Structure 1
Amino acid sequence: MEVLRRWKAGWGYPTSLLCCYGFFSTVKPMEPFLIPYMTGPDKNLTVEQVNNEIFPVWTYSYLSVLVPVFLLTDWLRYKPVVVFQSLNLFITTALLLWLQGVAAMQAMQFFYGVVTACEVAYFSYIYSVVDLTRYRKATSYCRSVQLLGYTMGSVLGQLLLSFNLMTYNNILVLTLVLTSIALVTSCFLPMPQRSMFFHRSLGDDRERKSSTGIVAGSEGGALSSPSALDERGGSSNAPSRAKSSSDEPVEAGGSEERPALPGGCLSILAQLWRDFLECYSSRQLLYWSVWWALATCGYNQTVNYVQVLWEHVEPSQNITVYNGAVEAVSNLCGAATAYGIGFTQVNWAQWGELALGIFSGLGAASLFLMTYAGNIWVCYISYILFKTLYMLLITIAMFQIAAELSMERYALIFGANNFGALVLQTVITSIVVDSRGLGLNIVTQFIIYGSYFSAIALLFLVRGVYCLVTQPQHKDPPASELTPRPEDTERVHSF
């Protein structure tokens, strides 16, 4: 009993519950087959309705609630938002299962946009209940469990359909059961006593003053503080490498909470704005962030609408679809590539922007191949290549930014980069996809996405060559500074 009591009072109990929640909320066997289900006899929608009227709602919903959710997540201390996310996930699945028609499916996409926006609470919760000395390990567990859930969901859906073990509706019922387990689990999470911004402890303030800031005299205003956070393609924090003031680990819940400041909310928002301006004054951080926002926008558009392209190339009524297997393989390849990059000895500060240009160009080529090949297997292979390349590059970008920032500042920059990506994605969706805009067909859309990544590739190729030509050669930094470590890369977000 004493061991159990200590376990509940320590970091293992909340981490275990969060891992359980992360697993059951990400096992979605129906997700890779959403287009065949919605355009089949169960929902009887057309591809054009799904593409031009239903799917755009997710983007608009995500953008409209992202900023309020980001602030409320910290103010409410994470757990209420985690519970709210699981409730919205349950509603999303229920709407998809029981309702019919375009309006109902648009409502389903709205609730799913809320689910996506609440993803920030999942990893932020760890910071509030786990000591910084254990944050890396806890984040690794939770991220690995999420990746396992995504992969198992895709494999499970593929097996159930390939062997005719379940219909689409039965798979949705199974998903509803799994979501219910996640909802119940979220209710048992301990309520944190502190948060990153609004409910800080006195120890947090002392640590923040000693670990944040820009190093004067460094090239481009390089930012210093030994921490790294990870995020999805939407919404995760990688571990801080800051040390506590004591050699002994102290549980997060034991810190004394700071009393509220006069004009507390406005003071915090003003501090966030100052941190925002100070961080982006670093030219190197700014360039990596620009790529992050641009590429994440194009990646999200591709992943969101690729099933529509597959349906166009080979209607699901004609063959047995392997969408689930392709998603599983792409997740595994992306995770393996992100992990493997930690063992390469490359000075990404010098060669990184050129790598961004080259690999973005390969991503554009895979999109064009997917669009013009007219063969479903070529589409599948091209998609795996595209997703793997993005996972590789986002890992490098996350590390290059996170290694120079404190935890609070990386959380801010991470949110700002993804918000920028979402704003750009909303503009593209409203003009290119939405039926109230141009309402282009899926082939034309993917030609635009391929051209978009070609422009990104050209921009960073030029920038990378310029840096190599104009900047003096520096001595190679220590190996520990060259690439992300395996502990960091294994947690890159699988969107």
Structure 2
Amino acid sequence: MGFLRRVAGVSLRDRVVNEIYPIWTYSYLVLLFPIFLATDYLCYKPVLVLQAISLVVTYVMLLKTQGMLTMQLLECFFGLATASEVAYYSYIYSIVEPAHYQRVTGYCRSIALFGSAAGSLIGQLLLSVARVQLVHLVIITLTSAAVACVAPWFLPMPKRSLFFHKSPGPAEEKPRSSTALLEKAGDSESELPLNSQDVYTMSRSFKTGSHNSGLVEVLRILFDDFLQCYRYQPLLAWSLWWALATCGYFQVINYAQALWENVRPSQDYEIYNGYVETLSTVLGALAALLVGYLPVCWALWGELALCALSLLMAVCVFVMDTLRNIWLCYSSYVLFRATYMLLITVATYQIAASLNMHRYALVFGVNTFVALLLQSLLTVVVVDSAGLGLDVFTQYLIYGGYFAVISMVFLLAGLCKLANRRRSKQEEEGLANSQA
């Protein structure tokens, strides 16, 4: 929102939404797969350094530069930093033993959530209580990014990775409970998790004696595993929801600040966006943890649960768009994020229950890529000035309808699943009666 302070007029604010914000989506999409391969080939640490430098460049440009082209370039650097987050979550698993994955995952995810909530809260307090100008918040953020940029240089360099630099022989991967997944659940728009139960057998690619793999071999390994994973219908169903819902979730949270600015202009009223982000992050984490205590048979009722809660998310978006009351916007946003966090945790668990660690990286990488591809298409058509270039209220009307369509898709899937289960049960009972 700092750039909004440097421009005047509603038309220029709309240009920020239609011409600047979409660049992040396109950059993230284009860079995700190359960064994924580069992370593994370079053994993580160089990409961690690249991510830290990208964040510093982003905030230096936000502080020192102006103009449409420079702001679009800023979004490119931010997209590079976001895509590079895969290096952070992959690096953790390359330097610790599998027995410690659960504890390390919990630590990393907890720190990330705490940092997000604390940053939002501190920023809001500085803005509301200390009356700090927005430019000073950018300076504080830049300072934090600069300090964080120093840390990757002192990290140990891993000697193995998942694909290009494999360990001599298959690593023993003990089955783990879903606790690690629940502890890790949170904002997953920029993360590629690498942890799961060991249910599938290790693919032949990881049983080879070679320690180093070429690019062609790695791509063949990924493609073979891709085909094998997505033939499994339950995994395909949960992955479909993951991609569809994450696409819509990205759009809603990315443009929430613009929506709030139109509902309650910050130049005329006191704003509380930081408090809302803090509360939504904390409640989202609690909702994710709640999954472990819900007595729901997800294998049976999963699709119908996705239908009902996706419909709730649609209602939240419609409320934000149509009622145009800032407090209702805030409340709906918090409920929307908490619902998404709960469902994405369930989806994470249901998908990961059938995968080993290597395929977990692949499947969630593909799911995230598909979500970004759908988001890019939606952005081109709805948001980008090259497409329809709709105002933010019309955009949210479309996003609400988008989640309603997702709800209907999984309603039909759930009804079909129950009908098939009932038919199978009747056939088993008929067979049992005939044998008796």
TM-score normalised per structure 2:
0.90
Cα drift, residue 169 of structure 1? 1.2
RMSD: 2.1
Q: For 2:276 and 2:176, how far apart are their aligned partners in 1?
A: 39
**1:334, 1:392 within 8 Å by CA — same for their partners in 2?**
yes
In terms of mean alpha carbon deviation, does 99-108 or 148-157 score higher? 99-108
**Structure 1 unaligned spans of 5+:** 1-33, 212-223, 244-256, 476-495
Alignment of 1:338-353 (within 5 A): 338-353=288-303
Counterpart of 1:84, as a letter, is: L
Cα drift, residue 341 of structure 1? 1.4
Residue of 160, 165, 168 corresponding to 2:134: 168
Q: Does 1:234 align with 2:200?
A: no
**Which secondary structure does the structure 2 equivalent of 1:202 belong to?**
coil
Alignment of 1:260-271 (within 5 A): 260-261=212-213, 264-271=214-221
Counterpart of 1:386 in structure 2 is 336
Q: Does 1:73 align with 2:39?
A: yes
Aligned length: 409
Residue of 357, 378, 382 corresponding to 2:307: 357
Cα drift, residue 192 of structure 1? 0.5
1:101-154 Cα shifts (integer Å, max 9, x gaps) = 111111111100111101111110011100000011011101100000000010
1:226-273 Cα shifts (integer Å, max 9, x gaps) = 887667211142534559xxxxxxxxxxxxx94335xx2211211110
**1:83, 1:183 within 8 Å by CA — same for their partners in 2?**
yes
**1:225, 1:406 within 8 Å by CA — same for their partners in 2?**
no
Counterpart of 1:100 in structure 2 is 66
Residue of 314, 323, 347 corresponding to 2:264: 314
Residue of 392, 398, 409 corresponding to 1:448: 398
Counterpart of 1:56 in structure 2 is 22
Q: For 2:397 and 2:381, how far apart are their aligned partners in 1?
A: 15
Counterpart of 2:31, as a letter, is: V
**2:242, 2:347 within 8 Å by CA — same for their partners in 1?**
yes
Cα drift, residue 207 of structure 1? 4.0
Residue of 285, 305, 323 corresponding to 1:373: 323
Alignment of 1:91-490 (within 5 A): 91-203=57-169, 205=170, 207=172, 232-237=188-193, 239-241=195-197, 258-261=210-213, 264-472=214-422
Q: For 1:336 and 1:292, how far apart are their aligned partners in 2?
A: 20
Q: For 1:108 and 1:177, how far apart are their aligned partners in 2?
A: 17
Q: For 1:239 and 1:410, how far apart are their aligned partners in 2?
A: 6
**2:63, 2:139 within 8 Å by CA — same for their partners in 1?**
yes
**Which secondary structure does the structure 1 equivalent of 2:255 belong to?**
helix
Cα drift, residue 64 of structure 1? 1.2
**1:132, 1:241 within 8 Å by CA — same for their partners in 2?**
no
Cα drift, residue 43 of structure 1? 4.7
1:394-433 Cα shifts (integer Å, max 9, x gaps) = 0000000011101010100000001001001000101110
**Which secondary structure does the structure 2 equivalent of 1:385 belong to?**
helix
**2:54, 2:80 within 8 Å by CA — same for their partners in 1?**
yes
Q: For 1:43 and 1:237, how far apart are their aligned partners in 2?
A: 39
Distance 1:280-1:164 versus aligned 2 partners, 3 A rule? same
Counterpart of 2:129, as a letter, is: F
More helix by share: 2
Cα drift, residue 286 of structure 1? 0.5
Q: For 1:154 and 1:468, how far apart are their aligned partners in 2?
A: 44
Cα drift, residue 469 of structure 1? 2.5
**1:433, 1:445 within 8 Å by CA — same for their partners in 2?**
yes
Counterpart of 1:10 in structure 2 is none
Cα drift, residue 312 of structure 1? 1.1
Cα drift, residue 206 of structure 1? 5.6
Q: For 1:386 and 1:293, how far apart are their aligned partners in 2?
A: 17
1:286-329 Cα shifts (integer Å, max 9, x gaps) = 11111100000000000101111111111111211000000000
Q: For 2:397 and 2:196, how far apart are their aligned partners in 1?
A: 40
1:68-92 Cα shifts (integer Å, max 9, x gaps) = 0010011111111111001000000
Distance 1:85-1:410 versus aligned 2 partners, 3 A rule? same
**1:136, 1:238 within 8 Å by CA — same for their partners in 2?**
no
Counterpart of 1:260, as a letter, is: N
Cα drift, residue 368 of structure 1? 0.5
**1:367, 1:386 within 8 Å by CA — same for their partners in 2?**
yes
Counterpart of 1:91, as a letter, is: V
Distance 1:474-1:115 versus aligned 2 partners, 3 A rule? farther
Counterpart of 1:332, as a letter, is: V
Cα drift, residue 357 of structure 1? 0.5
TM-score normalised per structure 1:
0.79
Counterpart of 2:189, as a letter, is: G
**2:95, 2:158 within 8 Å by CA — same for their partners in 1?**
yes
**2:166, 2:212 within 8 Å by CA — same for their partners in 1?**
no
**1:139, 1:238 within 8 Å by CA — same for their partners in 2?**
no
